[in-house]
Structure formats: structure tokens, C-alpha cells
């Protein structure tokens, strides 16, 4: 396995050169005083170092050893505890936390790069950190001042960690059916009883306390998703001086045996009358969760391509090192008994595919993060509203499209290794196994597609969609005389047209066919994802074309070639997808259930 190297050059390119983050941050009320170019650069540098040197070395053994359940608690693999301690001392847990509660207040555009490095080095380890950030977001947005003051500083410091408790054995996608109960105690607190499953980081030996955000139903709550409330339930009681006391009747019943992310504890959590506090309003628990969902979903998308980046780095090293066969164009390494496999066109096709997706993902996630930052930090109501709309539209794509392409990339990275890709010690198969869950949790990619197609497109008659089209069209228009990127812009324009055509036809079909949305959704999301990537690749190509002359590093030249590969070898899939979508729902629904 190659040593992980944080792709800082590309991160700087995306942040500073393509999306001009510093300009944006300087323009936003909430970031103007907290982040400047020097701070951002220092954070990138340090994050690159600590992830590569402290965390990346844990990942192989973490996979082999896994977590283990003991009656006293869950034990994480060797080295995790020490690494966690060092890591939180660096203050990384509070990177994007609210500065009023001792967070660092950094924007998401920057935090997304940090998360990428964290996940590239080890998804399992990263999950412990990122679940805490997610819980903090929900607490910060919805909890009472008292709860915030009590919990946020400890969570930003990493002394206490967070977990999100949604799923129950019989209800995952359909949370309306949950059964966990909350009963008022009379002192403002609630007594929580029930069983939750698939709780990532639900129990571990890294932090002093674990703060669970639990979805539960109050007596007499309306049935379905409108009767769910959110509660903060610490594993251990915390007294008025913030001293951690005895167990709060929160226990881990067992941990799951799973395909991957083995060093991350996936817990069954039992609540036996645990004391909890309401977060947000009664029966508005799901809505409260959704405010942090956009951040979480982007984060899961980042998880995906972070693993793909790691797989790419390994695959490139292997392809340069492994010798096998001769180049079809003539011997390249005459002193060796064969040429390195990177000379073979098909090996390059795999590497280029990985690269085009991964760099496209990095750019796209940074782009989506820029809207999250506008939505959160702007004091201009119009800008905020527009950003919220873009976030709503793009989030399902960020989660599902990035993770789908990430799995493809990790599988390609495994394939480059031939039979060795199947062997554990090389690490490539672990990346496939670790990444596979990203297509499932935080709402399966099928659910993301329904969210996009149903709620974000059809429900508002394409209003959000128009925003996106306008932005892309403006870009094409503004660069119409740029001959360097002309072929890309033409291709982008044709892709947008294709997407618009399909969008219109599904909106129309949905008016009379209730299955139209579900029949189109997954292919539609992929088509939309490709279009988004075409857009960010065109933007990257534009910047690279401006700078390529006189650049001796090869960076901009490589960028242009990768853009070209994307447009010529990956984007054509849009033709297949639009045809498949337009075939409608009949072929999916006609088969009688009994005849499967």
C-alpha cells in the first residue's frame, strides 16, 4: 500500500483557483473575521500531515482487528485510542464548530478538504470524529442555550463524542414507524426507552462520554413521521459541574459484523429509561435532523471519493512498479523483462477514470460546500435563500453520485492490481469494502434519487432546477469566446439540453403516473451528476487553460487532459441514461409480483 499523500496541490487549485474561496469568505459576514488565506493554508498543511502520519497507518490493522464487544464496553482496535487523544489535542474536532461555544468556526469549503484527508487516511477513524460534528450541528441549530453551553464545548474539544440514533430493527428508510418512547419526567427531562440499531460510534473507548441524539415518540404523538421528537441522551450522566458520573441506562447490546469499516463500532443501543432532554420542538424531530442532514450527506459523499483518492494513489504506484507485458507501441523499459503496466491503454483507462471522477468529486463537493457556506454565513437574505435552494437541489447528488462513482473508482483501483487486488495485504479490497456502505447509509442512494426527482424537481415544477441551469448557462455565455474550452462548453451545453429535456418529460409524466418519479429517479440522478461534473470540469479546464502556458510543473496540462478524458470517455453515458429514463415506468411496474 502506497503511503498516503494528501492531494494538497489539487485542493488548493479547487479552493483558491477555481472557486476562489478566499474571495467568498471575505464577502460573508460569518467568515470575514474567522478565516483568512493564511489560516486556511495552515489548516490544510497541518491536516495533510496529521492524517498521513497519525491516522493512515491505523487503517490496515483496524480492518484486521476490528472492534470487539465486552460487557464493559466496546474496544476499538490497537492504536485508535492513542491516535484519538493526539488528534483531539490538535483541536480538529471543533474545526467547523460554532465559535460562540469554543468551536473554530471554519467554513465548510475548508472543512470538506479536511474531511477528505481524514477519510482517505481511514474511514473508520474518521467516522468517530464526523459523527460528533454532525451531532454538534443539530445541537447548535436546535437545542436550548443551556444544553448548548453544557455539551458543545466538550464535544468540540473531542472529550465527549456524538452519535445519531435513528434506525430501529424494523424501520430504517421509513422512520415514521419507530417505537422508541419518551415520557416526561416532570423536571423538564424525559425518560427514553427503546432499541436502536446501526448506531455508528454508539459505544467506544475513545472519549469520556458519548452524547446520543435519539429519535423517539412522546405518548399520544401523531402516527408516522410527524410524531417524532429529538432527544439528547448522554451515555453517562453529567452533573451541574460537567463532571461525568454513572451510566444513564444507555448500553450497547452488541456490535454488527459487517463487510467493511470494521474499526468503526456499529452498535445496537438499548435505552432503559435513560434520562434525555428535548432538542428543538416536540414532534419536530425529523425536521431538526434534516438541518444537519445536508452537511452529513455532503460528508458521506466526501467519504466516498476520499477512499477513491487513496485507491488511486495506490493504483498509480502499482501501475508504475508492476511490470507485465510490453507496450503495444514498442518496448518502453528495455532493461527490464517487461514494461510497467501503466504503458497499457486499458490500465490507463482505469486510472484516468478514477482520476476524472475523483478530481471531479473534489471540485463538486467544494462547489456544494460553497453554497452551504453562503447559506450559513451570509447576512444577505437573498443570497442565503438562493444558496439554500442550491444546497437542497445538489445535496442528494453530492451524496449519491459521489459515492456511486467512488465505488466504481475503488473497484477500478482494485482491478489495476489484478489478482493482488483481491488480497487483503494490498489494501485495495478494503477500500472497496469500506466504501460500499457510503451508498447505503445516510439514506440509500435510491432514497437520495427519490429526494432529488420527487421533492427537489417535480414537487416545485423544476423551479430549483432552473436556478442551476441559469448558473451553467451564464457560465457558458460568459465564456463563449474562449476558444480553449470551446469543445467542452459545446458538450456541456448539449448535456444541459439533454437533462432539461428529460426533466421536462418526467415532470410531465409524473402528473398522471405516480410511478414516473421512482422509475426515473436513479438514472436521473446519475444523469444530473454527470452534468454537474461536466460543469465543474469545464470550470477547471477554463482555469487550467489560462495558466498552462509557462507552467513547467505539468499540473495544468494534466488537468486539461483529464478534462478531455472526462468529456470524451465518461460523459457519453448521458446518452444511455436519457434513453433509459424516457422509457417510462411501464417496464418496471408491469411484471406481476408473483411472477418474479
Partner 1 sequence: MPEYKAPLREISFVMKELLESEKHYASFPAGADATPDMVDMLIAEGGKFCEEVIAPLNKVGDEEGCTLGADGVVKTPTGFKEAYQQFVEGGWPTLSADVNYGGQGLPESLNIVMSEMVGTANWSWGMYPGLSHGAVNTIHEYGTPEQKETYLTKLVSGEWTGTMCLTEPHCGSDLGTLRTKAEPNADGSYSITGTKIFISAGDHDMVDNIVHIVLARLPDAPQGTKGISLFIVPRNSLNDDGSVGANNSVSCGSLEHKMGIHGNSTCVMNFDGAKGWLIGPENKGLNCMFTFMNTARIGTALQGLGAAEGSFQGSLVYAKDRLAMRSLTGVKNPDGPADPIIVHPDVRRMLLTQKAIAEGARAMCYFAAQHADLVHHAESEEQRKTSDDMLGFLTPILKAFITEVGYEAANHGMQVFGGHGFISEWGMEQIVRDTRIALMYEGTTGIQALDLLGRKVLMTQGASLKQFTKLVHVFCKENEGNEEMKQFVEPLLELNKEWGDLTMKIGMAAMKDRDEVGSASVDYLMYSGYVSMAYFWARMALLAQQKLAAGTTETGFYTAKVQTAQFYFKRILPRTKAHAAMMVAGSDSVMAMDEANFIF
Q: Confirm if 472 and 535 have CB atoms less than 8 A apart.
A: yes
Which one of 116, 203, 429, 442 is the catalytic residue?
442
Triad 165, 167, 171: Cα angle to 5°: 155
Q: Between 391 and 517, whose beta carbon lies closer to partner 1?
A: 517
**CB proximity list for 83: less than 8 A, separation 6 or greater:** 54, 55, 58, 125
Q: Does 432 bind partner 1 (CB under 8 A)?
A: yes
Q: Which region, judged by CB under 8 A, interacts with partner 1, from 27-35, 429-437, 464-472, 476-484? A: 429-437
- Cα separation, 295 vs 590, in Å, equals 38
Q: Quote the DSSP letter at residue 340.
A: B
- Cα separation, 517 vs 520, in Å, equals 5
Q: Does 90 bind partner 1 (CB under 8 A)?
A: no
For the CB of residue 109, give the shortest distance to partner 1 in the complex, in Å: 20
Q: Between 155 and 289, whose beta carbon lies closer to partner 1?
A: 289
Q: Which region, judged by CB under 8 A, interacts with partner 1, from 72-80, 278-286, 469-477, 576-584? A: 576-584
Q: Does 222 bind partner 1 (CB under 8 A)?
A: no
Nearest to 362 by CA among 372, 354, 374: 354
Q: Is 442 a catalytic residue?
A: yes
For the CB of residue 254, give the shortest distance to partner 1 in the complex, in Å: 11
Q: Looking at the DSSP assignment, which residues form a beta bridge with residue 274?
A: 192
Q: Using the rule CB under 8 A, which residue among 423, 477, 478, 490 binds partner 1? A: 423
Q: Which region, judged by CB under 8 A, interacts with partner 1, from 75-83, 185-193, 273-281, 411-419? A: 411-419
The interface with partner 1 within residues 433-462 (CB under 8 A) comprises 433, 436-437, 439-441, 444-446, 449-450
C-alpha cell of 236?
453517562
The interface with partner 1 within residues 273-302 (CB under 8 A) comprises none
- Cα separation, 236 vs 40, in Å, equals 36
Q: Does 65 bind partner 1 (CB under 8 A)?
A: no
Length of the chain: 596
Q: Using the rule CB under 8 A, which residue among 247, 290, 514, 546 binds partner 1? A: 514
Q: Which region, judged by CB under 8 A, interacts with partner 1, from 73-81, 172-180, 245-253, 538-546? A: 172-180
The interface with partner 1 within residues 107-166 (CB under 8 A) comprises none
Q: Using the rule CB under 8 A, which residue among 60, 181, 348, 384 binds partner 1? A: 348
C-alpha cell of 217?
415518540
Beta strand pairing call for 181-184 and 160-165:
unpaired
The interface with partner 1 within residues 537-566 (CB under 8 A) comprises 553-555, 557-558, 561-562, 564-565
The interface with partner 1 within residues 377-406 (CB under 8 A) comprises none
- Cα separation, 117 vs 113, in Å, equals 6
Counting beta carbons within 10 angstroms of the beta carbon of residue 79, is it exposed (0 to 12), middle (13 to 18) or buried (19 or more)?
Answer: middle
Binding mask 299-328 for partner 1 (x = CB under 8 A): --------------x--x---x--xxx-xx
- Cα separation, 379 vs 483, in Å, equals 38
For the CB of residue 240, give the shortest distance to partner 1 in the complex, in Å: 38
Q: Confirm if 222 and 204 have CB atoms less than 8 A apart.
A: no
Q: Point out the residues that are catalytic.
A: 442
Amino acid at each position: 500500500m502506497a503511503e498516503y499523500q494528501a492531494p494538497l496541490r489539487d485542493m488548493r487549485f479547487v479552493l483558491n483557483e477555481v472557486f476562489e474561496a478566499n474571495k467568498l469568505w471575505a464577502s460573508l459576514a460569518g467568515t470575514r473575521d474567522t478565516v483568512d488565506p493564511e489560516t486556511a493554508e495552515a489548516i490544510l498543511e497541518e491536516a495533510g500531515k496529521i492524517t498521513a502520519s497519525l491516522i493512515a497507518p491505523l487503517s490496515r490493522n483496524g480492518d484486521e482487528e476490528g472492534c470487539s464487544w465486552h460487557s464493559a464496553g466496546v474496544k476499538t482496535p490497537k492504536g485508535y485510542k492513542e491516535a484519538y487523544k493526539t488528534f483531539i489535542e490538535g483541536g480538529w474536532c471543533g474545526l467547523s464548530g460554532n465559535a460562540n461555544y469554543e468551536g473554530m468556526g471554519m467554513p465548510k469549503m475548508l472543512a470538506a478538504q479536511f474531511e477528505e484527508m481524514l477519510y482517505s487516511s481511514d474511514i473508520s477513524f474518521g467516522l468517530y470524529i464526523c459523527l460528533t460534528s454532525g451531532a454538534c450541528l443539530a445541537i447548535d441549530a436546535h437545542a436550548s442555550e443551556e444544553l448548548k453551553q453544557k455539551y458543545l464545548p466538550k464535544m468540540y474539544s473531542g472529550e465527549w463524542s456524538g452519535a445519531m440514533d435513528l434506525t430501529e430493527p424494523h424501520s430504517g428508510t421509513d422512520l415514521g414507524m419507530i417505537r422508541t418512547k419518551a415520557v416526561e419526567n416532570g423536571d423538564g427531562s424525559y425518560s427514553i426507552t427503546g432499541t436502536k440499531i446501526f448506531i455508528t460510534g454508539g459505544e467506544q473507548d475513545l472519549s469520556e462520554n458519548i452524547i446520543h441524539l435519539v429519535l423517539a415518540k412522546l405518548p399520544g404523538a401523531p402516527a408516522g413521521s410527524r410524531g417524532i421528537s429529538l432527544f439528547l441522551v448522554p451515555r453517562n450522566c453529567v452533573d451541574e459541574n460537567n463532571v461525568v458520573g454513572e451510566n444513564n441506562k444507555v448500553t450497547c447490546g452488541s456490535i454488527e459484523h459487517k463487510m467493511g469499516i470494521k474499526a468503526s463500532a456499529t452498535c445496537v443501543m438499548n435505552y432503559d429509561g435513560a434520562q434525555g432532554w428535548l432538542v428543538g420542538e416536540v414532534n419536530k424531530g425529523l425536521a431538526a435532523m434534516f438541518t444537519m442532514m445536508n452537511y452529513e450527506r455532503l460528508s458521506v459523499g466526501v467519504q466516498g471519493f476520499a477512499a477513491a483518492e487513496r485507491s488511486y494513489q495506490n493504483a498509480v504506484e502499482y501501475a508504475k512498479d508492476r511490470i507485465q507485458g510490453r507496450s503495444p507501441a514498442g518496448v518502453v523499459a528495455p532493461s527490464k523483462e517487461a514494461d510497467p503496466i501503466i504503458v497499457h491503454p486499458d490500465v490507463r483507462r482505469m486510472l484516468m477514470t478514477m482520476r476524472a471522477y475523483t478530481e471531479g468529486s473534489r471540485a463538486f463537493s467544494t462547489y456544494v460546500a460553497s453554497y452551504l457556506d453562503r447559506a450559513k454565513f451570509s447576512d444577505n437574505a437573498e443570497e442565503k435563500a438562493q444558496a439554500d435552494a442550491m444546497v437542497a437541489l445538489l445535496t442528494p447528488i453530492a451524496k449519491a453520485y459521489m459515492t456511486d462513482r467512488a465505488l466504481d473508482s475503488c473497484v477500478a483501483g482494485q482491478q489495476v492490481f489484478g489478482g493482488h487486488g483481491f488480497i487483503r495485504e494490498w489494501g485495495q479490497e478494503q477500500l472497496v469494502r469500506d466504501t460500499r456502505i457510503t451508498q447505503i447509509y445516510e439514506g440509500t442512494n435510491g432514497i437520495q434519487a427519490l429526494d432529488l426527482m420527487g421533492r427537489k424537481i417535480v414537487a416545485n415544477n423544476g423551479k430549483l432546477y432552473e436556478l442551476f441551469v441559469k448558473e451553467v448557462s451564464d457560465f457558458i455565455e460568459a465564456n463563449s469566446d474562449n476558444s480553449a474550452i470551446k469543445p467542452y462548453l459545446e458538450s456541456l451545453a448539449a448535456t444541459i439540453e439533454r437533462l432539461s429535456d428529460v426533466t421536462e418529460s418526467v415532470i410531465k409524466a409524473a402528473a398522471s403516473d405516480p410511478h414516473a418519479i421512482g422509475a426515473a429517479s436513479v438514472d436521473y440522478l446519475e444523469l444530473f451528476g454527470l452534468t454537474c461534473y461536466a460543469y465543474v470540469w469545464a470550470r477547471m479546464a477554463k482555469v487550467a487553460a489560462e495558466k498552462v502556458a509557462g507552467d513547467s510543473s505539468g499540473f495544468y496540462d494534466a488537468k486539461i487532459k483529464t478534462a478531455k478524458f472526462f468529456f470524451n470517455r465518461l460523459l457519453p453515458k448521458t446518452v444511455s441514461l436519457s434513453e433509459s429514463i424516457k422509457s417510462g415506468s411501464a417496464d418496471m411496474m408491469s411484471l406481476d409480483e408473483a411472477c418474479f
